[in-house]
Structures are given as C-alpha cells and as structure tokens.
Amino acid sequence: MADDFTGATDLATNWVARGLRTSVTLGVPSDEQLADLRVAGMDAVVVALKTRTAPVADAVRQSVAALDALRRLGCERFYDKYCSTFDSTPAGNIGPVADALAAELGADKVVVVPSFPATGRTVYQGHLFVGGQLLSESSMRHHPLTPMTDSDVAALLRPQTTHRVATVPLQTVRAGAAALRAAIDAAEGTYVVVDALDESDLAIIAEVTSGDPLVTGGSGLALGLPAVADAPATDAMPVTAGHRAVLAGSASSATRGQIADAREQLAHHKLDLAALRADLPGEVARLTAWARERWSRAPGEPVLVYAVDSLDDLEKAPPAGERPASEVMEEALAGCATAFAEAGARQFLVAGGETSGSVVQALDVQRLELGPSLAPGVSWAHGTAADGRAYNLALKSGNFGHRDIFTAGWQALA
C-alpha cells in the first residue's frame, strides 16, 4: 500500500529489479481487477493511493480498504510504503495509517525503514539524512505541504501514534540477523526505527523481517530482498505512439533543477496562477492550443508544462476565499493531461506525487505494468484507460531523477 502514485511505481520498480513479477493498481482494486491479477500470477501487487496529504480519516479508510483487497487476493505479507523523506505532519498520515494496518494484521512489532541509499536517503542513529544533509537542513525543510523541520525519525513518528517508538542503531544491524531480530523483539515499542546506510544493511533487515506480517518504509527496503533467478524482462513493455508531454507540479529542488535543464531544449510554459484562478478551463484550452501547434511543427518533441521554477513561486497563503495554489496547479495539470490526450498525447513524464495522482486519475488509467528504469525509483510503465486508450507513463517523485531526465528519459521509448 503506497501513499502516492510515484511512491507506488518507485516500490514496484525496486521489486521488478529483484525479479518479482509486479503490477500496480491505481486505487483500491475492484473484484474484476483482483480476478485479472490472479490470472496474471503476480508475485507482488502495489496499490497506489493518493493519501499522503489526505485528511487522516480518509487516508486510514483507503489504506485499510487496500489491505482488505490484497488479503482477498491472497497476499500474506504487507508493505506500508511512504516517502523516503518521511513526508508527514505531527497529525499524520504515516502514524495513523500504520496504526490501522498493524491493528488489522495483529502486528506487535513493525520496523520503520525510510532508508533508500541509491537516492541518498539514509538513517544513522535514528536520524534521516538526504544526500549527506540532515533532513531538517535539506530542501525538504521548505516543502509546502509537509515541511520537515526535524531529522529524528522516532521524534517525527511519536506525535502521530499512541504506540511507543524505539530505535535500533547501525552497529546492531551489522552484528547480523540474529542480533537484529533479538533487538527488534526486545525493543520497548511497537514501532522500531532501524538504521541503514547501504543495501547490505537493507538485506539484513529484509531477511530478519521476512516473517513479519507488516513492514513500513520507503521503497529502499524492497532492494534488500534476494534477487530472483531468471527475472522477467522489462524491456518488452509496449510503447504507445503519440505526442509527448512533461507535466511537472513538484516544487522540489531536484525538479526545479530538471526544469531549468529542460527549458534549454524543450518548448515550455509555466502555469500562471492568477490566470488559472480567473479562468482555469480557458487557460488549459490555451495551453492545449499551444501544445498542438508545437507538435504540428515537431511531432516527436516533448512539451513541458510546469508549476514552479523558484521557491519565490510558492504561495505563503491563498487570497481570502481562494483555494491553495497546490490544488489549483494540480487541477490544471490534470486538465492538461486529458486535453493533451484528446490532442493525441500518449506518452507522459509526470513529476510530483500529488500531480502524478491527479494526472493518472484524470486519464482514468487503473493499472500499470512496469517497463525500463530511468533512474533509481523511476521507470516507464504501460497502462490502459477505461476508454481503451493506452499510455506510457513515467511517474517521478519530485526529489528523484537525474538532472536531464525530462530530455533524456524519452530515449527508453525509442
């Protein structure tokens, strides 16, 4: 169960890398989808939810519904996936969702492992680092929805749960599986934050928790699983011909750098918040007309539509009676996705968890099969909408990807 759509494909990408046949359902799967998954013989299924910043009650309800569907599918082990930067507030949603899942599964010890070393996320002495910086000193300190002003994972989690939270240091992990299992079992808390600096640490944690009904963390822990022999090829993913678009709603420093790089090569338009508030459908229509004109001149070239290229663009508070900028931008980018699809776009590279959720829901794609990897935690995928249209989608967490991903990422679809 993943709390946003980019996190879902991130986790699926890592399971595929370990050789597991993995499918992503966009939203809680229906009985019909569950039947299709049984026939497909998946090793793992990721349910992509849009709950990271949803009201707590909604996040819990959707997560428990996803758990129920996976149990009906026959799943026996469950992974509560949240962001590797532990994106949350003192009210949740990481703690309340984990509490509900642990209660449903009767789990009395649950590891908390945000580490994803391949993307620079590590935990040492219980503190989360991002590329060598403490989380609280990284760009996540300025996140518009979940500002992370503390780096102590246990301290971040405690206000969100009624359960006790313990920690296990790196030296215990590296003492081996038996020592780690004993430390987890002896910990004075339901939740146990476990240090990890590299994938060998994740391998030990994965081994030790292989019999646990529930684990929680970023997607990095998935890379601790032993590789499956004769892993299925992912380069056979169907490629759907059509126009290309980059839709970037994230304000993260990584995405802003990627936008700056892409503007040197791609036709681009920055969303105009005032114009959107005045006439959102009209602005989407204007952007669509611009994209059509660009594609008519260069059919194979992507267009870039983005929300933020500087922290100065972040709105401190919406005007009286107006919706927050993030909601307006999400709606606009989702509107662009559907309008661009009507204009023949079939390949979308989307940046930002909330944006990805809005775009995929707008396109009405309900399931994804993973294809070639673009970067740690980012892959192309193939999905079909309810109207029969097929798409290639790369859903990128705001903080992930190489600087040139908006321009170089298309090479995998050539």
Q: What tokens appear for 167 in the block?
A: 């920690």
> What residue has token string 């791609």?
266
Residues 187 and 46 in one domain: yes
Q: What tokens appear for 223 in the block?
A: 């890379």
Which of 194, 224, 254 is at the close of a domain?
224
pLDDT digits (tens, 9 = 90+) for 116-133: 999 999 999 999 999 989
Domain holding 27: CATH number? 3.40.50.10840
Residue 309 to residue 322: CA distance in whole angstroms = 22
Residues 277 and 377 in one domain: yes
Of all helices (H) and strands (E), which one includes residue 357?
A: helix 353-363
Count other Cβ atoms within 10 Å, centred on residue 278.
Answer: 10
Tens of pLDDT, residue by residue, the chain (414 residues):
999 999 999 999 999 989 999 999 999 999 999 999 998 888 999 999 999 999 999 999 999 999 999 999 999 999 999 999 999 999 999 999 999 999 999 999 999 999 999 999 999 999 999 998 999 998 888 777 788 889 999 999 999 999 999 999 999 999 999 999 999 999 999 999 999 999 999 999 999 999 999 999 999 999 999 998 776 555 578 999 999 999 999 998 899 999 999 999 999 999 999 999 999 999 999 999 999 999 999 999 999 999 999 878 877 788 888 999 989 999 999 999 999 999 999 999 999 988 999 999 999 999 999 998 899 989 999 999 989 999 999 999 988 999 999 999 999 998
pLDDT digits (tens, 9 = 90+) for 164-173: 999 999 999 9
Which of 196, 224, 252 is at the close of a domain?
224
CA distances from 19 to 40, 233, 266, 367, 380 (A): 15, 9, 35, 19, 17
The verdict on residue 20 lying in a domain is: yes
DSSP state of 106: T
Q: Please state the domain count of the chain.
A: 2
Residues 150 and 17 in one domain: yes
Domain holding 398: CATH number? 3.40.980.20
The verdict on residue 76 lying in a domain is: yes
| Domain carrying residue 35 | 5-224
Which of 168, 192, 224 is at the close of a domain?
224
Residues 254 and 212 in one domain: no
- Whole-model pTM? 0.88
Taking the alpha carbons of 282, 283, 285, 286 in that order, is the dihedral positive or negative?
positive
